[in-house]
Amino acid sequence: MKITLLMMSFLILVSLSVGCQALKMDYGEPAAQFLEKDVAALGQKYLGKKITIKGTVIDVSNPQAGWIHLGNGIRCDFSRLPAMAQSKKPGDICFIDGILKECEEGNILLESAMLRDPTAPFSPER
């Protein structure tokens, strides 16, 4: 009985530590935050990392597919959460978290995008 209890306790602790890593990836703080005009110039060293971009929605022509286009060639892939893309319209200012996958002038891709609370702290890189 005592061994079974110890084994169950160990398994619970292992499960919690693995679960915390997943939560940190989904909900952890971004590595950097940018205004849309600065991403191409300053974002290269954050490729593959979670960042936040503040920008103006330019196009949501196919919201069911889950894409939002910001200024300066920024594409945000909301395909995992298309309802978030559907909630925005051209001209809206928004804060978007996601993984920076491409970062060249006029071609910036943010994958696994999610809208961020506009009242959350925001300190853009300059």
| Whether residue 63 sits in one domain with residue 118 | yes
| Whether residue 112 sits in one domain with residue 64 | yes
pLDDT score of 25? 41
The pair of three-digit structure tokens given for residue 18, joined into one six-digit string: 């693995």
Instruction: Provide the number of structural domains found in the chain.
Output: 2
pLDDT < 50 stretches in the chain? 14, 18-25
| Whether residue 55 sits in one domain with residue 4 | no
CA angle (78 as vertex; 75, 84 as ends), nearest 5 = 115
| Whether residue 88 sits in one domain with residue 70 | yes
| Whether residue 25 sits in one domain with residue 37 | no
**Residue numbers of the domain that contains 9:** 1-29
Rounded Cα distance, 126 and 68, in Å: 24
| Whether residue 58 sits in one domain with residue 119 | yes
| Whether residue 69 sits in one domain with residue 106 | yes
Tell me 119's DSSP state.
Answer: T
Closest of 70, 72, 106 to residue 89, by C-alpha = 70
pLDDT score of 93? 96
Three-state SS for 69?
A: strand
pLDDT score of 22? 40
CATH of the domain at 74: 2.40.50.140
Residue 27: phi and psi, rounded to 5, are -120, 0
Helices (H), 28-81: 39-42
| Whether residue 96 sits in one domain with residue 75 | yes
| Whether residue 110 sits in one domain with residue 75 | yes
pLDDT score of 122? 94
Q: What's the pTM?
A: 0.78
| Whether residue 47 sits in one domain with residue 97 | yes
| Whether residue 23 sits in one domain with residue 83 | no
